[in-house]
């Protein structure tokens, strides 16, 4: 069963066309991530799904219901925002139960749902605390718990980890992934962080300038990007792009090489000058220049490489990508 279907969705603010012919299906139980640079329209698209913005045209279906003119509270969705949006004068239990009380759910149902959600999120010891007594990660878990207790048809996450530090982002990302497995729920998650997209998603939707560039599983998009934009957006460090002339003096196409596909070789075709070395413990990133173009090589393990030194890099030709001048993938 399809949990969410978007057909030919457009959104304009006056003369500004923000979303352009969006067609996406989210299957039941699927975790779908919208990813793209700032201003690509991903948060606007999430707000259109939630009913916080009206689509200019197109159809939005949640489950079996067409919801174009249905208010947010009637769409069967629960949304977790970048800001925790907790009521400071209510403790955790009351924050989580407020929506259920507004729905006039019986007390027994409310208590049972809060108990279940608090166990999932390890919040049992914090139910009587107020938001000011919680860490950022705990507040975000309360916001997620508030969504869980509503038992929605569809969960919507709008950059929920942006306000957390690096360690908390990783821990909370794992918690969200485990939560998805436990609930088996349909989730749509917006982020600009490609690492979050790659590690969380069953399916990634890459957006640019209000359009869908490509849809697929994380590894499908990583290994078979449709164009130069997708190839450069997914991956950390990002893909290297060099004029084909740097490699073999051929035509004006662009060649893409992933950093992990470059290696040091005395016979390598790329003579580079090292400008910076990042020692990451398990990996070493070498940032260098070749004929005025920056290139990054990601080497497994620890390597002693001197700044301003010259070395040769090689790669496997079957691990390269070719792009036309307009960014279209050639091979």
User: Is residue 328 assigned to a domain?
Assistant: no
154 and 295 co-located in one domain:
no
**CATH number of domain containing 287:** 2.40.50.140
154 and 29 co-located in one domain:
yes
30 and 151 co-located in one domain:
yes
Provide the pLDDT for residue 175. Answer: 87
50 and 83 co-located in one domain:
yes
Task: Give 132's DSSP letter.
Answer: G
Say if residues 16 and 174 touch (Cβ distance below 8 Å): no
**CATH number of domain containing 62:** 3.40.50.300
28 and 78 co-located in one domain:
yes
Is the Cα torsion angle 223, 229, 232, 234 positive or negative in sign? negative
12 and 160 co-located in one domain:
yes
Say if residues 215 and 57 touch (Cβ distance below 8 Å): no
Q: Of the ranges 150-159, 217-226, 242-251, which one carries the lowest mean pLDDT score?
A: 242-251
Write down the pTM of the prediction: 0.92
268 and 224 co-located in one domain:
no
User: Is residue 329 assigned to a domain?
Assistant: no
Q: How many Cβ atoms sit within 10 Å of the Cβ of residue 54?
A: 12
122 and 156 co-located in one domain:
yes
- Domains contained in the chain, number: 2
Which residue range forms the structural domain that includes residue 295? 237-246+253-323
Q: What is the pLDDT of residues 297-317, one digit of tens each?
A: 999 999 999 999 999 999 988
Q: What is the pLDDT of residues 228-251, one digit of tens each?
A: 999 999 999 999 999 988 887 667
Q: What is the pLDDT of residues 110-149, one digit of tens each?
A: 999 999 999 999 899 999 999 999 988 899 899 999 999 9
């Amino acid at each position: 069963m399809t949990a969410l279907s978007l057909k030919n969705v457009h959104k304009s603010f006056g003369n500004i066309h923000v979303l352009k012919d969006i067609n996406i299906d989210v299957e039941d139980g699927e975790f779908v991530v919208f990813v793209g640079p700032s201003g690509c329209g991903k948060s606007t698209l999430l707000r259109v799904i939630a009913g916080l913005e009206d689509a200019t045209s197109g159809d939005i279906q949640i489950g079996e219901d067409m919801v174009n003119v249905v208010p947010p509270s009637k769409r069967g969705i629960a949304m977790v925002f970048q800001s925790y949006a907790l009521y400071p004068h209510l403790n955790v239990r009351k924050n989580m139960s407020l929506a259920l009380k507004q729905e006039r759910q019986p007390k027994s149902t409310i208590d049972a749902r809060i108990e279940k959600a608090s166990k999932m999120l390890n919040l049992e010891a914090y139910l009587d605390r107020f938001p000011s007594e919680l860490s950022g990660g705990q507040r975000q878990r309360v916001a997620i718990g508030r969504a869980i207790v509503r038992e929605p048809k569809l969960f919507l996450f709008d950059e929920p980890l942006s306000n957390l530090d690096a360690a908390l982002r990783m821990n909370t990302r794992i918690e969200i992934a485990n939560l998805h497995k436990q609930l088996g729920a349909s989730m749509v998650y917006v982020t600009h962080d490609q690492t979050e997209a790659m590690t969380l998603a069953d399916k990634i939707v890459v957006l640019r300038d209000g359009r869908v560039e490509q849809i697929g599983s994380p590894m499908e998009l990583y290994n078979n990007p449709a164009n130069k934009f997708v190839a450069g957006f997914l991956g950390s460090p990002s893909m290297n792009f060099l004029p084909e002339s740097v490699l073999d003096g051929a035509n004006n196409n662009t060649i893409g090489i992933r950093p992990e596909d470059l290696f040091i070789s005395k016979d390598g075709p790329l003579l580079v000058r090292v400008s910076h070395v990042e020692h990451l413990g398990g990996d070493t990133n070498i940032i260098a220049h070749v004929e005025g173009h920056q290139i990054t090589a990601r080497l497994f393990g620890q390597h002693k490489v001197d700044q301003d030194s010259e070395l040769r890099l090689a790669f496997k030709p079957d691990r390269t990508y070719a792009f036309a001048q307009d960014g279209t993938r050639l091979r």
